[in-house]
């Protein structure tokens, strides 16, 4: 996977040739990840969710592993759920934000990650504002690298938790389903990861939003572009509202937030255009009353809190996978005593 080898990893321009380090396993994006690999991770996450709901004591699955969570951009959900997941699996966990690191003294990002590696990090979780930064760093360290969101590129663990939430809402069936993704798709790493994962699993994706916030590559992404939010949501099995960032107005891409809400906002009337059992997703943080009406965000169709809850389970599955530590079936724990980062296990 991408989860696969870094030979397939997206390289930022100017990064130079990438060498191969066969022992590390990364999750850099969902683009190109095989259906079987996605489903294997989702199945593993479902087992984690079931186990979390019955037994909150930590396991010893990553007892010998060190997980470093390096957030060079703000985060609440992703940071907290990776911390909980890593502790849940018994790992040693260190969390950093860019504030307080020696980056402020001129140290490079590469050297910063090599410090983490030299301190024994088996898995480094990285969020960074530059698209391709985790892929670049994956080539620089022997630790496994997990992309926790890189600029406008991808947010693969968010994509996985979105897939998990939809699979639960849809009774396990992806084929033949259709989702509307509404808002600032052009700048959304959440949308890109969701589109890659959903398309691989046979879900049709309709995009809707202001033309200035639509990607130029709609066809290449395999999506359909709707002319209005009503058209996109008509008969859909789900809608994903994306966060509207105020800086888009400052950049001249949006006339005003109130105009956006009137034309593209998702309210109860628009929700009723979807199928009777369709659900509403939002990656958070939500601008209530802008992209999503408060009664929809809190309504019975909303699965926003399910997304958050599934985040811990997905990140347990991803950390276990990237650390190369298979789950021991039946026990909820894996084979302890093996150092993470050892020979890669192929995902089923």
Residues that bind ligand CP (CB under 6 A): 75-78, 149, 155, 158, 283-284
Q: Which residues of 324-335 are buried (b: 16+ CB within 10 A; e: fewer)?
A: bbebeeeebbbe
In the block, tokens 């399910």 appear at 306
Task: Give 224 or 245: the residue with its C-beta nearer to ligand CP.
Answer: 245
- Closest approach, Cβ 149 to ligand CP, in A, equals 6
Task: Give 59 or 78: the residue with its C-beta nearer to ligand CP.
Answer: 78
- Closest approach, Cβ 319 to ligand CP, in A, equals 16
Task: Give 204 or 309: the residue with its C-beta nearer to ligand CP.
Answer: 309
Task: Give 265 or 311: the residue with its C-beta nearer to ligand CP.
Answer: 311
- Closest approach, Cβ 148 to ligand CP, in A, equals 7
Task: Give 76 or 258: the residue with its C-beta nearer to ligand CP.
Answer: 76
- List the structure tokens of 99: 């504030």
- Closest approach, Cβ 302 to ligand CP, in A, equals 15
Task: Give 310 or 325: the residue with its C-beta nearer to ligand CP.
Answer: 310
The C-alpha atoms of residue 298 and residue 20 are separated, in whole angstroms, by 47
In the block, tokens 């009337």 appear at 269
- Closest approach, Cβ 88 to ligand CP, in A, equals 18
Task: Give 45 or 340: the residue with its C-beta nearer to ligand CP.
Answer: 45
- Closest approach, Cβ 341 to ligand CP, in A, equals 25
Can you give the chain as a three-state secondary structure string? CCCCCHHHCCCCCCCCCCCCCCCCCCECCCCCCCHHHHHHHHHHHHHHHHHHHHCCCCCCCCCCCEEEEEECCCCCHHHHHHHHHHHHCCCEEEEEECCCCHHHHCCCHHHHHHHHHHCCCCEEEEEECCCCHHHHHHCCCCCEEEEEEECCCCCHHHHHHHHHHHHHHCCCCCCCCEEEEECCCCCCHHHHHHHHHHHHCCCEEEEECCHHHCCCCCCCCCCEECCCHHHHHCCCCEEEECCCCCHHHHCCCCCCHHHHHHHHCECHHHHCCCCCCCEEECCCCCCECCCECHHHHCCCCECHHHHHHHHHHHHHHHHHHHHCCCEECCCCEECCCCCCCCCCCCCC
- Closest approach, Cβ 189 to ligand CP, in A, equals 8
Task: Give 24 or 303: the residue with its C-beta nearer to ligand CP.
Answer: 303
Task: Give 75 or 97: the residue with its C-beta nearer to ligand CP.
Answer: 75
- Closest approach, Cβ 104 to ligand CP, in A, equals 22
- Closest approach, Cβ 228 to ligand CP, in A, equals 26
């Amino acid at each position: 996977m991408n989860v696969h080898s870094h030979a397939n990893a997206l390289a930022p321009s100017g990064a130079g040739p990438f060498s191969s380090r066969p022992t590390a396993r990364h999750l850099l994006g969902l683009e190109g990840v095989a259906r079987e690999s996605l489903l294997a991770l989702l199945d593993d996450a479902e087992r984690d969710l079931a186990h979390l709901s019955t037994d909150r004591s930590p396991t010893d699955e990553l007892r010998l592993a060190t997980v470093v969570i390096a957030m060079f951009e703000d985060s609440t959900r992703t940071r907290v759920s990776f911390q909980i997941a890593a502790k849940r699996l018994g790992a040693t966990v260190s969390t950093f934000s860019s504030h307080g690191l020696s980056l402020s003294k001129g140290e490079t990002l590469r050297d910063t990650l090599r410090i983490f590696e030299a301190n024994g990090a088996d898995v480094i979780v990285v969020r960074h504002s530059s698209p391709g930064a985790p892929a670049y760093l994956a080539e620089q360290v022997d630790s496994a690298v997990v992309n926790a969101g890189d600029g406008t590129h991808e947010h693969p663990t968010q994509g996985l938790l979105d897939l998990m939430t939809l699979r639960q809402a849809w009774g396990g069936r992806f084929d033949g389903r259709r989702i509307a993704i509404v808002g600032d798709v052009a700048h959304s790493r959440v949308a890109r990861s969701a589109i890659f994962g959903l398309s691989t699993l046979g879900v049709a994706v309709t995009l809707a939003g202001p033309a200035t916030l639509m990607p130029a590559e709609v066809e290449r992404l395999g999506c359909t572009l709707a002319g209005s939010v009503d058209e996109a949501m008509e008969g859909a099995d789900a809608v994903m509202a994306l966060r509207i960032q105020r800086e888009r107005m400052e950049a001249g891409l949006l006339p005003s937030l109130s105009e956006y809400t009137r034309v593209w906002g998702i309210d109860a009337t628009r929700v009723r255009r979807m199928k009777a059992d369709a659900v509403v997703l939002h990656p958070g943080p939500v601008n209530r009353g802008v992209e999503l009406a408060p009664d929809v965000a809190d309504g019975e169709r909303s699965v926003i809190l399910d997304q958050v809850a599934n985040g811990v389970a997905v990140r347990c599955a991803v950390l276990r996978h990237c650390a190369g530590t298979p789950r021991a079936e039946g026990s909820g724990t894996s084979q302890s005593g093996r150092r993470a980062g050892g020979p890669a296990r192929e995902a089923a």
